[in-house]
Amino acid sequence: MNSKTIQYGIGDNSYVAAGALQGLTKLVDSFYDFMETLPEASKIRNMHKSDLTESRTKLVYFLSGWLGGPRLYAEHFGRIIIPAAHKHLSIGFDERDAWIFCMQKAVALQPYEDAFKAYLIEQLKVPAERIRMASEAYQTNP
């Protein structure tokens, strides 16, 4: 199949396009490196523990299954519902956008097809917005 006709989101196409586990590890390392250094992200960085090792592993494992690859998060840590897992955090529009901004910077550095870069960011905006909504609902009615 020609790369231009790959349908992301079918089977493990997205996982493969992201470079499988090795590619996802590079993406997530880059993502958290940006979170640690970009001033726009200092607030969300400070919501995390000082040591980001566990966060890096968990995000790689989650993205693996989410992109159609091995369900590593479930295998290692059990079931997760992403908005519920964040509802105790105060995540508004700025925090949501800062997270996506770090991801955009990280995705831009990866050797992905442009179409996959755009697809991945659009897909990630969906859980990011659900997290913001869950956080808002929780603040209103904990």
6 versus 56: smaller Cβ distance to ligand HEM: 56
Residue 77 near residue 61 (C-beta atoms within 8 A): yes
Q: Out of 17, 24, 28, 44, which residue is the one contacting ligand HEM (CB under 6 A)?
A: 44
Within 10 angstroms of residue 141's Cβ, the number of other Cβ atoms is 6
Interaction residues for ligand HEM, span 86-105 (CB under 6 A): 86, 89, 91, 95-96, 99
Residue 44 near residue 93 (C-beta atoms within 8 A): no
Give the Cα separation of 26 and 36 in Å (integer): 15
Within 10 angstroms of residue 17's Cβ, the number of other Cβ atoms is 22
Minimum CB–partner distance for residue 13 and ligand HEM (Å): 18
Binding site for ligand HEM (CB under 6 A): 44, 47-48, 55, 58-59, 62, 77, 82, 85-86, 89, 91, 95-96, 99, 124, 127-128, 131-132
